[in-house]
Each structure stands twice: as structure tokens, then as C-alpha cells.
Structure 1
């Protein structure tokens, strides 16, 4: 299917790019913009309730314990396999 419309940036995009480029020249303006954006993002943060915090903590702890068991079991199996293949130094 042939394209009839050439992908060119609109005038708004070009104007915004020029504005951004002008703002980029001043390092203090860039820092101020960054701080404003950080503050705006921090306002969006929702603090979990105590019940949610306990629930999330328990989920993480259970997951870590399960992963430790899996890794420990695999380590034990592989060590047995290595001892079978290469033999042990026990006499």
C-alpha cells in the first residue's frame, strides 16, 4: 500500500523543539525544569496503608524464601552431579 502522506513534523512539534532547544542552552533553566518535574511526580505518589505494607512485605519475603529453596536445591543437585562425573576426593 503506497503512502500518500509524507511523514513530516507538524509546526507545533517544530515550535516545541525550538523552544526546548532554547531552554536547553541555560543550565539553570534545565535544573529548574528537572526539579519541577520531580516535584510533580512526587505529588502522584500514593503512600501504602499499613495493611498494604505488611501484605507487600510478606509477599516479598515468601518469594525470596521460595527462590532461596529453588537455588539451594539446584545447587545440591548440581554438586551431586559433579561428584558423580568427576568423583570425590574422599578416601
Structure 2
């Protein structure tokens, strides 16, 4: 196993000794969550609609691409495993 602090869970101070991680209480955790959520920049309605249509178009293109590949490879496999009929 590694002796890295991230793996073992502890911090080293300047003297090289380890201090166990201090747990955050529920009230402090809640306050930190609220503080972080206040920093979030939410998209406007126009941005959200634009992002929706961009994602929708991308998904439709990917569906078409995968469908065409599936159809083509399926026909190829069918031809390979059933044999040619023009003999």
C-alpha cells in the first residue's frame, strides 16, 4: 500500500507528525453548502433553451450515426455468414 497522505488520510505538519482529519459538523457542512451554492452562476432561460437544442441535435446525430453503422455492419455480417448466392 502507498504511504501517501491522500491514501492514508492525515496531514503532516512542519515537524513531520501526523494529525488526524477533523470532521466537519452538520451545521458547518450546511453553511458551507449554502455558501458554495451562492457562488453558482445559473444559466439564463435563453442559454438553457440553446443548450437544450444543441444537446438534442447532437444526440439525434449520434443516434443516426450508430443506427447507420448498425445497419451496415449487420448487413455485412449477414452476407459473410450466409454466403454469396450468385454462384
- TM-score norm. by structure 1 comes to 0.62
The alignment's C-alpha RMSD in Å is 2.4
TM-score (norm 2): 0.64
> Would you tell me which structure has more helix in proportion to its own residues?
1
Structure 2 CA distance for aligned equivalents of residues 10 and 65 of structure 1:
54
Whose strand fraction is larger, Structure 1's or Structure 2's? 2
Q: Aligned match of 2:49 in 54, 61, 76? A: 54
Partner of 2:9: none
Corresponding residue number in structure 2 for 1:64: 59
1:28-47 pair list within 5 angstroms: 29-47=24-42
Q: Which stretches of structure 1, 4 residues or more, deviate above 4 A after TM superposition?
A: none
Structure with more relative contact order (C-alpha pairs < 8 Å, separation 6 or more): 2
**Alignment size in residue pairs:** 70
2:68 is aligned to: 73
Rounded to whole Å, the distance in 2 between the matches of 1:75 and 1:82 is 10
